[in-house]
Amino acid sequence: MVHETIAATNAVVTLDVALPGIVWPWLVTVNMWAKSIGTGVIFMLFLLLKKHPEQVGSLRFPTTVVSIIFIHIFLLFTLADLHQPFRMWHIFFFPHVTSAITVGAWMATAFVGLLFLLAFQSFIKKNNVAFDKTLTWVVLLAIPVTLYTAGLMSQCTARELWQMPTESAQMILAALVAGSSFMILLSGSKLNYEAKKTLGVVLGLSAFMSFILYMSEYIFGPMKAEEVAAVLEYIKGDGPYTVMFWLGQWMTYLLPMLLIVLSRASKSENILKLAAILALAGLWLVKHVWLIIPQLLPMS
Amino acid sequence: MQLGFLVDLHLCMGCKGCEIACKVENEVPLSTWRLRVKYVDVGSFPETRRTFTPLRCNHCENAPCERICPVSALHYLENGIVNIDKERCIGCAGCVMACPYGAIYIDPQTQTADKCTYCAHRVASSMMPACVVACPVQANIFGDLDNPTSNISKYIQKNQGNVQVRKPEKGTNPHHFYVNGGNVTLNPLASHRINGHQLFNKITTLPIGGHH
């Protein structure tokens, strides 16, 4: 930044009341976190049905219910974040299709409809064949539902930190981290250790790749853009979000990776569960820091 | 017709007449601004000078706020103005997040997005925007960018090589130009921003919609 590098300039803002700083608060963090779980468990159910079909039969309905609950938490917090929540219907009657918000709202609505169809097929009809066929389409739709928030963040021209395709990769990886973690906790005694090991591998690899992306941005981002450098100052040194950033990185990525290796060495399901709990809680912190820090930068 | 704005920063003396005129004309609520003047002090005592930069919506040709708005509350008028329909706005604040100029806010009274509209209602009645009328030194120049004989086009031609826009790297193609601007006046990262008391107040950031 010029004011720090050229003493002769010594420019100081002496009057400027900047317009609001934090525009998207923690409500949006909950939105992203809940959606990661809602779509992530669907991805994991699909994976388990392919890899361990004999184990997963009884998980069809509970997984669908978990997805329905978390997608509704996501929708509820989306609504709560609106300043005019009772006008939400405008998205369907006055849609503007260049907006990721519009496209996302439509897809999320279709996704909820399909989830209820899955619940109907598994609980009322008890038809696993139909369920598995529908699930394929639900998984296909879950991918753009997961990704649209990344599209929205990338449409925020003012926030240089949120770049495509990094945000897309982070959204999918967050869904895999959240989905595998939740399934490890949800499955209880219904899955054998081999199936849980598969979930552990997904959790560990997703955490590893996500961590690499964050560290790449942390180290190399400032070399590319002045605004990114300025934003990342908030999580470096004694920046206001440094502690939260590193707490999130340790809880979501580093400790779960370590614990998964330990659980495989000791064949301990409890260690795997601890990794899952840490990853789920840490994911909220990671998402929150990345949501807030670009909003701290003055635009004027 | 593509309407645009130009501010000659050498003429602006920071009187804030444009701010007040805008507030009155558009009934902008307390604690929010459609237009404001930023002061930046440059240099070390006694070699110091103060710069003044009026900041308002840039009415971009490629407006991120228009693109991100899910309900077309932000929309283009035929004359190039990026207008807002407050009755349609759902208050998602996507536009606030998208605008690289920090020119959009959530109105605490209506709980909808709001910003400078180049006084579209006055323009529709063949009047100049309120801030143009109020400026005592004619630092604000408003007119049709498509018409080479308009005042703004002539001013741009006369100052070739000295006409800037804010954050050109964002690719927004603003319809708001500055003459005699510089890095310190146009780049928010080029000046130090100290939290706490400023010249006339102790507010540095406004709460959104009247609450955090």
CA distance A152 to A167: 10
Would you say residue A6 has pLDDT above 60? no
CATH number at A254 reads: 1.20.1630.10
Contact (CB, 8 A) for A300 and A228:
no
- Residue A211 forms part of a structural domain: yes
Taking one residue from A and the other from B, the number of pairs with CB-CB distance under 8 angstroms is 203
> Residue A188 has what pLDDT?
83
- Residue A6 forms part of a structural domain: no
Q: Positive or negative, the Cα torsion across A185, A187, A189, A195?
A: negative
- Residue A127 forms part of a structural domain: yes
Q: Which of residues 105-144 of A touch B (CB under 8 A)?
A: 105
Q: Write out pLDDT tens, residues A261-271.
A: 999 999 899 99
> Residue A8 has what pLDDT?
61
Chain B, nearest residue to A156 by Cα: B98
CA distance B123 to B2: 12
Contact B38 A13 (CB under 8 A): yes
- Residue A11 forms part of a structural domain: no
Flag residues of chain B having pLDDT under 70: 196-197, 201-212
Query: In 3D, which of B50, B11, B41 has the Cα closest to residue B139?
Result: B11
Q: Which of residues 185-244 of A touch B (CB under 8 A)?
A: 226-227, 230
User: How much is the average pLDDT of A225-230?
Assistant: 93
- Residue A248 forms part of a structural domain: yes
Report how many domains make up chain A: 1
- Residue A145 forms part of a structural domain: yes
Q: Which of A4-8, A128-132, A174-178, A206-210 has the lowest mean pLDDT?
A: A4-8
Quote helix, strand, coil % in chain A, to nearest 5. 80, 0, 20
> Residue A10 has what pLDDT?
80
- Residue A219 forms part of a structural domain: yes
User: How much is the average pLDDT of A156-176?
Assistant: 96
Q: Is residue A1 very low, low, confident or very high in pLDDT (cuts 50, 70, 90)?
A: low
CATH 3.30.70.20 matches B3-191: yes
Chain B, nearest residue to A91 by Cα: B71
The residue type at A73: I
β-pairing, B140-144 vs B3-8, is: antiparallel
Q: Which two tokens stand for residue A155?
A: 């449409």
> Residue B205 has what pLDDT?
63
- Chain B: closest CA distance from residue A67 (Å): 24
CA distance B11 to B140: 9
Mean pLDDT (chain A, rounded): 93
The residues, any chain, with a CB within 8 Å of residue A159's CB and separated by 6 or more, are A153, A294, A295, B97
Residue with tokens 């143009």: B132
Classify the complex by whether its ipTM is higher than 0.85, answering yes or no. Answer: yes
B89 and chain A in contact, CB less than 8 A? yes
> Residue B201 has what pLDDT?
67
CA distance A36 to A31: 9
> Residue B206 has what pLDDT?
62
Q: Write out pLDDT tens, residues A174-197.
A: 999 999 999 999 988 888 989 999
